[in-house]
């Protein structure tokens, strides 16, 4: 170290400051207790409660995606088939529906993306005890109005006015919402879990249609609608909390065409089976006879049977015995009182 006489005053001050800072003890570092660590990681949540904070909540939200719900796309495929038929009946014209996209997004981002003016329809899933949104864009609304009120067929796009919707236009959207929600209820019934979607109210300001928190994850389905070469879009939004009761069903993966139980088809088949008419045979007795004896039978010939008058007789269907009973009479008609339950037979027997 050089002699102090050879150092300037500034160098001496800097040296003194360095020696002072080096002599100071290091600052204490606060240690987190276990509760603070659990809260930071998101593990300090009681069982049955939803985790809304911490690193674990961030990971859970990042993993939420409609691609983890393969059955959801199958439900909406069925939905557009049913809805296209009902819209054809409404407009008396060809209607083509296709799924444009099914995506996950934040509720707040979706609300901000809705163009004004708009009619945001809130509906309630009664069995799920939650709400969803249905929106028909302005192009579709004005196209339906033009078609239903006798407008001429045209390939030109419908002029969209920037004014609020009239009561007549709101009533038409309400009618469309009822059709959509009814068909949507039927489509979700294919999962074997019935749900009823009911129209609640319509909001002209999307901010008032508050069915979820801004940062909540939602699944949005966009459906393209084409009527008389006029195109529009239907949007259906479900918060992930709303579909939580059927999440286990939506995550199922099926191979081939085994995508679930078609309740309507199953009910129709059962109804037709029960309405099928079958021919039954009541066999009093059977006896072996030679061809010669049978050829000698004439009108008035007597065949002696071995059965007693009160013995059970066999009841056959297509040559197979299914039950037995006793012969009797009801009014002027012969009747058989069943004395044994109907037997089940393997179809391959």
**pLDDT for position 316:** 85
**pLDDT for position 312:** 84
For position 121, which CATH number holds? 3.40.1550.10
- Number of separate domains in the chain: 3
Q: Around Cβ 331, how many Cβ atoms within 10 Å?
A: 6
Give the integer Cα–Cα distance in Å for 71 and 192. 12
Q: Which helix (H) or strand (E) holds 315?
A: strand 313-317
**pTM for this model (two decimals):** 0.53
Question: Same domain for 174 and 202?
Answer: yes
Tokens at 127, concatenated:
């069995």
Question: Same domain for 90 and 123?
Answer: yes
Q: Is residue 200 part of a domain?
A: yes
Q: Is residue 5 part of a domain?
A: no
Give all strands of the β-sheet with 197-203 in edge-to-edge order: 95-106, 217-227, 230-239, 130-136, 120-125, 197-203
Question: Same domain for 109 and 56?
Answer: no
**pLDDT for position 21:** 58
pLDDT average per 10 residues of sequence, the chain (349 residues): 57 68 57 69 54 57 56 84 85 83 85 84 86 86 79 56 75 87 85 81 82 85 84 87 80 53 75 85 82 85 78 84 84 84 58
- Which of 16, 48, 63 is the last residue before a domain boundary? 63
Unique residue bearing structure tokens 């939200």: 61
Give the integer Cα–Cα distance in Å for 251 and 148. 40
Q: Is residue 106 part of a domain?
A: yes
Question: Same domain for 104 and 211?
Answer: yes
- Which of 215, 240, 269 is the last residue before a domain boundary? 269
**pLDDT for position 258:** 46
Cβ atoms of residues 157 and 143 within 8 Å: no
| Domain of residue 115, residue span | 66-269
**pLDDT for position 302:** 82
DSSP designation for 118: -
Give the integer Cα–Cα distance in Å for 39 and 29. 19
Unique residue bearing structure tokens 């296209």: 84
Question: Same domain for 102 and 157?
Answer: yes
Q: Which of 121-146 are b and which e, b meaning 16 or more Cβ less than 10 Å from the residue's Cβ?
A: bbbbbeebebbbbbbbbbbbbbbbbb
What are the start-end ranges of the H helices in 228-262?
247-250
């Amino acid at each position: 170290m050089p002699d102090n006489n050879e150092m300037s005053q500034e160098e001496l001050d800097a040296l003194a400051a360095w020696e002072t800072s080096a002599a100071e003890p290091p600052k204490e570092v606060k240690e987190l207790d276990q509760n603070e660590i659990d809260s930071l990681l998101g593990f300090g949540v009681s069982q049955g409660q939803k985790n809304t904070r911490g690193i674990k909540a961030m990971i859970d939200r990042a993993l939420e995606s409609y691609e983890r719900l393969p059955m959801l796309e199958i439900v909406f495929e069925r939905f557009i088939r049913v809805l296209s038929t009902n819209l054809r009946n409404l407009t008396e014209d060809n209607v083509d529906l296709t799924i444009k996209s099914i995506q996950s997004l934040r509720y707040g981002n979706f609300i901000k993306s809705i163009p004004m003016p708009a009619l945001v329809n809130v509906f309630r899933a009664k069995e799920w005890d939650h709400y969803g949104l249905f929106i028909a864009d302005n192009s579709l609304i004005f196209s339906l109005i033009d078609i239903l009120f006798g407008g001429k067929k045209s390939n030109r796009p419908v002029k969209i006015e920037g004014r609020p919707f009239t009561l007549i236009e709101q009533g038409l959207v309400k009618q469309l919402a009822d059709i959509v929600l009814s068909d949507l209820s039927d489509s979700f019934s294919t999962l074997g879990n019935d749900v009823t979607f009911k129209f609640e109210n319509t909001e002209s300001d999307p901010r008032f249609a508050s069915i979820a928190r801004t940062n909540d994850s939602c699944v949005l389905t966009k459906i393209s609608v084409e009527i008389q070469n006029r195109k529009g879009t239907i949007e259906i939004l479900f918060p992930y909390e709303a579909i939580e009761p059927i999440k286990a069903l939506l995550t199922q993966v099926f191979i081939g065409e085994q995508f679930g139980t078609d309740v309507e088809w199953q009910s129709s088949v059962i109804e037709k089976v029960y309405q099928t008419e079958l021919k039954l045979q009541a066999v009093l007795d059977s006896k072996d006879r030679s061809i010669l004896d049978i050829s000698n039978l004439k009108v008035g010939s007597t065949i002696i049977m071995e059965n007693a008058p009160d013995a059970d007789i066999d009841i056959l269907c297509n040559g197979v015995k299914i039950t037995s009973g006793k012969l009797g009479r009801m009014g002027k008609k012969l009747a058989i009182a069943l004395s044994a339950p109907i037997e089940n037979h393997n179809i391959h027997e």
